[in-house]
Structures are given as structure tokens and as C-alpha cells.
Structure 1
């Protein structure tokens, strides 16, 4: 295929079957979120550049797709707008703009495309869809619990088997550093390295910790307690260590409160995972990731981020939220041809004089909520038109040739069995509705 005919690098075309599959997935997620009272929010595809820059760190800012100023500024390369990088900064802007008009706590969900000027690769796109939920304005652990429960129901609706929430707390992470006497100056770098326990061997992580300046015995003890033989670590031993520090006790209390609130979930669905590290720049309380067999990395994540809305330009409000990695899930799940619904009725065009009657019949069927397609090709051959009907996965085909038109009847063909029956034209719509309903 010529390069000019391909979509831009890092983007994709979605043909009918994939569009239908994605829309059903989005509908499942949307339905789960709305059952919990989250309200939809839609924001523009682009924001003012100053709204986005400085919110994602130096590396994140480099990935913002900028839009050149129009008119005389285009030649200068100066930008004033940018495609949205995520759905969180737009949420902060909306809260800052409409805060006095929003119900508080504000529960919103957003499903929509975002853009990153990233290097495309396997599973890495420059345009992709995010599915977010957030609660703004609540310090209650119930907000964290509702977030996890809504994500649990959405993943269940998506057909994900045996997924697991790995739960931790930022306070517990810093309590962990206190318990193992990790110098404050090394804390952030140590946690970044510990976050690699699901990617690197325990020995490699230990070596990196020592390379960062941690004493060898401390590094070995940390990795042994956090990784263990199954990479789940020894939570009970870590609990005892955390119980000896103030921040550790606070973190454990957050984790245990959330575990209690989620007690109705299936056994093993949520587990305290002290090695799990994420989002240290802005998370302030409970944090989580979701993993599932057969899926690479995490398929959902989130946590409490009190203070982030203010940092993003909104009011100083507490917040908690999460995001489902819908693209990762859809890429891993096998698509089937049946993901695209076929026609209920395919209407063949075999006689010019019958075309008005065919259009009228198609209108009746569509008005009844059926998917009816009219053959629009140039061939008048019945074999080619039946092949078209079969390609459309039609359940029934209507044949209306010159003889049928003269007699005021149509031939209804069951595309599965090949059986045919003649029906008066004026009764054809009702007859097809009955056949499709099993009557």
C-alpha cells in the first residue's frame, strides 16, 4: 500500500466490525459508570496551550500536540492551542470554570480520544481513547470505594476474567521508607526502582537500589519482603514493619478501611500489595492498579489525588479517580467477525419498475426498527445480489423481480436455510417482522 494511503503513524482506521466492537465496549463502561451516579462530561478536543503546559512534567510537555496560530502567525511556528493530552486537566478546568454550578461532590465520567506526540510502537498510539471516572470534593473513603466498585463492574461487563486490584497507599509507601531507614534524600528514587519489581528480577532490583546509594543489607531486606517467591511479597511482615512508623500506620489504616468497604467483592479480588508504586508526583492516599491473566501490564489504575485539581488551575478540592486501559483491553481481546451486526433484511433489485415498491418496503422495515439494506450495485444478476446479501450477513433476503411485481408478491428467502416463500407485497413487512421475532 502506498504510504500516502495509510493513516498517520500512531493512528488507526477502524472498519465496521471494529467500530461496532469498540462501541459496545464503550457502552458497557458507560453503563457501569452511570449506574453509580457518575455524570458524563465532554470537553473540546483541544485546549489553550497554557492550560496544558506545565501540568505533566518536562517529559509530558514534550508529548503535547501543538496547534499553530492561524493567519499571519502560521509562518512563525507559534502555537496557542493544543490537542488534549488526557481527560484530567480538562476536568480541572471545568471545575475551575463551573465550580459553583456543579453538584458537590462532583462525580463525572469521560470517554474520549486523547493525543500524545509519542513515538509509535506496538500497543503505543498517538491517538487513543481514555475512560475516566473521578469524584471531586469528597475526602470520604466511600469515594475511593465507589471508584473501585464502578471500575470492577465495568471490567466485569467487558468480560475480563480473574482480574485483581492491587491496592496500596502513598502514605504506606513513605512509611515503608521510614520503617527500613531509607534516607529521605533517596526515598523517591528508591520507590521508582521498587516499582520495577514486576518487570525486573529481584536481584536486578536489589543491584539497582545499591547503585542508587542504598546499603546492601537494607536493599536486600526490602526486596525480599516486597517481592518474595511469587512477586506478591510478604504483606504480613511488611504490615509489622509499617506498624512501627506514624506514616506507615496512617497508610495501613487507609488500606484496611478500603478493604473493609470492598468486602462484598469476590475473595481475592482486592489485595494489599505493598510493592505497588504509582504516580508519586501527585497521589496523596490510596492507589491501585488492576492486573489480569493474559493482559500485559495494568488494565486500570488510579487513586486519591487531593491537591491536584488546585495544581491544575482549579479550586483546592480533594479528588479521587481511576482510568480503564480500554485500548490495552481491546487490543488483547480477540475480535470476531460477528462483532459487526448484519442486516435483518437484504432487498435485491431485479426490476426497475419494482424500485419504488422496494424503497417503500425498506422504509416500513426501518420504521419498525429493523436493519434493512437495499442493493446498490450495478449488476442485475440474482446470484451476485444473493452473494452481497450473504456478505452482509443478512438473515432474510427479499426478491422482487418483474414476475413478482406483476403478481403483487415478493419472495422471502431465509439466508440460513435457503428456504423460500412467496408473500403478498402488502403483507411483506409484517411477515418479516414475525419471522425475525421467531413468531
Structure 2
């Protein structure tokens, strides 16, 4: 007996129900992208290695799946490089392409490569799979979809306002209430680091601050001390540890803390504009909250930072995130192309909707009626009816084999097909159809048009 087949760790097979539910989420997101004026693009699943390498830091480079060159890929390696066992030297000679790690860097490459064809500001959306050689664990996979929307070529804060509205529109359509959109600004974090004299330790300071909800004030302070932040600097942070109230109250407190930081005050000004706009426009489902501990993507974002949390009571990490970047395309030589973008976490949104039972019953509706096969003559008559039903939008099938009735009925039950149609000699003679409701067991003889009405 042959070895049982398997799939690589961190990848998944999806059955029909899961595919239908994932498609429902993606279609919902896609429709809102269109409503907000975003245009679809697609990029190749793999890029030239030099496009991706060096864009995500050392850790990211290690997680990029490299593709071996075709043919005799060892031919280009000198004996000296081979014997050195140097990963960088060998890899650069045997692999010239790699699977994309995210959609953002390929998007930057796309903008630079097609800049003369693009009308700026350019609003793009993209729903495609990406690959990361990460350690698989719950909620983290090596192959997964990203659902991104970005605007490049505009510094207007109205874009940030629209992205908050976009999040709200998607989660309202999915009937996912109680979602929290957290917002911060990189300039505020830079301002705080400036005030406490830790400009050179911005990352260390923010990584520690980000843990405030998890480990508490004292342990955060201990971590900051271990990173070389002075006691005087930590004492100046004290108002942050007790920051409370609504968006407006927190902003007023921040103005006091950052009163001597020009960049910090600029960040506050930007957040005030966004908050005032959202207050005037209103949100239907989501709630906008200021979170000064939010520090995702600091090597990347330059202005607003977003993170979306699932409703309270659902054990799940962020289900979306994004932010403002001032020079995305600079990595490919096109300077001063500001942009802002967000992403939806498809897999996590799926788990939240499943946990809360929010998928509509119609999402997984497949075949509505199965025609029982009694033999060649009956099957041909059934196939004519099936064809007409399909043309009228009814999902209909004919069982392909003239198997025993019990087997065909069991097949319908296992597939959860709600109706079966029986066409035997009596029905053929009368040009009628016997429709059976598989749940109630009720049967009725109908003409074709009566059958169509009953199924629609």
C-alpha cells in the first residue's frame, strides 16, 4: 500500500462549505472596495529575488520562500563558494526568483514600473495569496490571503478618514458589530521618545509600551530600564500610564505631555482632524478609539497607524490593520510618493464570523434539487428539465448513474440537497414531475412550470 499523501505544514485544504464562506467574505470586501472607488490589480505569485530581498529586514528575508533556478542550478556556483557553505553566496547563485511575502512591496514595484500609465492619486485593491516560511501555529499559516487597499500619490488626511469608513462599511455588511478601530500616529510616538530623551531607542520604547495591557505598568517600566531608558525619562511617561477618557480627553492629555515636541504636536493635529471628520460623518458599526500604545510597523509607517480588534469576548488578535507611509516607492527609486493603506485579515475574520454564527444560511447553499436516475430514457427527460431549470437560475443536478434508489436518496441527504425529483414511467407518460421535500418527506406531482415555481 502506498504512503498516504499529505500537504506541507502551514497550508490547508478547504472543503466546499469553507470555500463558500471565505468567498462570501472576499466578495463582501471586494464590493466595498469598488464602492469606495478602488481599482483591482494583480501581480505575479513570484517576483525577482532582488525585488523582495532586503525590503522586510533580516527576519523577513529569512521567511521568504526562494525558488530554485530551473535546470542545472548548481552550475553557476564556484567550488570556493560551494565549500564556504555561505548561505548568501550560494542562494544568490541558485535562486533568482521568490514567492511574494506580501502584496505591498509588489504593489510598490507595480507603481514604479507602470507610473506613466497610472493616474494619481491611484486607488488600488488586491486580493491574492502570499507565502511566508513562518512557524505554523493557530491563526498563522505559510500560505494565506491578503485583502489590501491602498492610495498612493496623495498626502490628504481625507484618505485616512475614508479608510476608517471603509472598515466600518465592510464590518457593517458582514453584520459584525462591536468592532474597534484603534488609531495612533507614528509622529506621536516619535514625540514621546523625544520628550523622554530616547530618540535613539524608539523601537525599544514602543515595544515595551505596547505590552502595557498585557504585563502592566511596573513590568513595562522594568523593560524600559533594561533597554537603557533613564529614570527621568520613565517618570515623564507617567501620564501615559494613566491616560483615560474618550478620544478628546486623551488628546488633551497628550498635548500637555508633548507640548515641547514639534513632531508630536503635528501627530496630535493629524489625529484631531481624523477624529473630528469621523465624529461629523458617523460610523454605523465600528468604534474609533485612540490607543497611544499601538506601534505596529514602525519601520514602515510614518503617520497614522490602524489596528482593528474583534468584538469584546471573541478571543482573536487583530482582524485588520494599516497606516500611512511617506515613501513606499522610494525603495525602487521613485521618491516622495506618499500613500496610505489597510488590510483585512481574511482568516481571522472567518474564525470570528464562524464563532459568532454570523454566516448567512444561504452562503453554503449548493444544489437545490437532485433528479433521480431511473434509466437511460428517464435520465434524458430529466436532463432536459435540469437544463431548463439551470437556465432559470435553479441549481439542479441529475444523478449520473441508474443506481439503487436508496443510494441516490442517501447521496442527496449527505449533500444536504433539500429536494429530489422522481421521473418514472408514470411521470413520463403524464409529462409531470414528482417533487419530494427531503426534510418533511412531502411529495407532490407537478407540471414543469409548477416545479419551477416551487423551486424558485
User: TM-score surpassing 0.5?
Assistant: yes
Q: What corresponds to 2:62 in structure 1?
A: 62
User: Is this contact kept in 1: 2:379–2:398, CA < 8 A?
Assistant: no
Query: Does residue 372 in structure 1 map to residue 389 in structure 2?
Result: no
> TM-score scaled to structure 1, two decimals?
0.91
SS of 1:71's equivalent in the other structure is coil
1:250-281 Cα offsets, whole Å, 9 max, x none, are 11001101111212234982122222112111
Residue in structure 2 matching 1:325, options 337, 340, 345: 345
Q: What corresponds to 2:329 in structure 1?
A: 309
Aligned partners of 1:344 and 1:85: how far apart in 2? 40
SS of 2:149's equivalent in the other structure is strand
Residue in structure 2 matching 1:273, options 283, 291, 297: 291
SS of 1:300's equivalent in the other structure is strand
**Structure 1 residue 373: deviation in Å?**
1.4
Aligned partners of 2:320 and 2:3: how far apart in 1? 35
Q: What corresponds to 1:262 in structure 2?
A: 278
**Structure 1 residue 162: deviation in Å?**
0.8
User: Is this contact kept in 1: 2:217–2:241, CA < 8 A?
Assistant: no
Residue in structure 1 matching 2:301, options 277, 283, 299: 283
Q: What corresponds to 1:29 in structure 2?
A: 29
**Structure 1 residue 151: deviation in Å?**
1.9
User: Is this contact kept in 2: 1:226–1:235, CA < 8 A?
Assistant: no
**Structure 1 residue 416: deviation in Å?**
3.3
Change (3 A) 1:313 1:295: farther
**Structure 1 residue 378: deviation in Å?**
5.8
Change (3 A) 1:320 1:186: same
SS of 2:377's equivalent in the other structure is helix
1:13-69 Cα offsets, whole Å, 9 max, x none, are 000000000000001111111110011111111111111111101100110011111
Q: What corresponds to 2:109 in structure 1?
A: 93
**Structure 1 residue 355: deviation in Å?**
1.5
**Structure 1 residue 228: deviation in Å?**
5.5
1:197-234 Cα offsets, whole Å, 9 max, x none, are 2332222111101111123353255265245589x995
Change (3 A) 1:302 1:3: farther
Query: Does residue 356 in structure 1 map to residue 373 in structure 2?
Result: no
Aligned partners of 1:211 and 1:265: how far apart in 2? 43
User: Is this contact kept in 2: 1:306–1:318, CA < 8 A?
Assistant: yes
**Structure 1 residue 159: deviation in Å?**
2.8
Aligned partners of 2:44 and 2:381: how far apart in 1? 45
**Structure 1 residue 331: deviation in Å?**
2.4
Q: What corresponds to 2:418 in structure 1?
A: 395
User: Is this contact kept in 2: 1:67–1:83, CA < 8 A?
Assistant: yes
User: Is this contact kept in 1: 2:125–2:149, CA < 8 A?
Assistant: yes
Q: What corresponds to 2:41 in structure 1?
A: 41
| Aligned 1:121-160 pairs, distance under 5 A | 121-160=137-176
Number of paired residues? 430
Unaligned runs of 5+ in 2: 78-90
User: Is this contact kept in 2: 1:349–1:355, CA < 8 A?
Assistant: yes
Unaligned runs of 5+ in 1: none
SS of 1:6's equivalent in the other structure is coil
Q: What corresponds to 1:164 in structure 2?
A: 180
Aligned partners of 1:185 and 1:228: how far apart in 2? 24
Q: What corresponds to 1:413 in structure 2?
A: 436
Aligned partners of 1:19 and 1:74: how far apart in 2? 40
User: Is this contact kept in 1: 2:239–2:257, CA < 8 A?
Assistant: no
Aligned partners of 2:231 and 2:428: how far apart in 1? 90
**Structure 1 residue 409: deviation in Å?**
2.7
**Structure 1 residue 393: deviation in Å?**
2.6
Aligned partners of 2:278 and 2:52: how far apart in 1? 35
> TM-score scaled to structure 2, two decimals?
0.88
1:392-414 Cα offsets, whole Å, 9 max, x none, are 33332110123333443321222
Change (3 A) 1:3 1:297: farther
Aligned partners of 2:333 and 2:393: how far apart in 1? 47
Taking only aligned residues, the RMSD between alpha carbons, in angstroms, comes to 2.5
Change (3 A) 1:29 1:119: same
**Structure 1 residue 194: deviation in Å?**
1.2
Change (3 A) 1:182 1:160: farther
1:277-314 Cα offsets, whole Å, 9 max, x none, are 12111211111211122142221111110112212454
Change (3 A) 1:313 1:71: farther
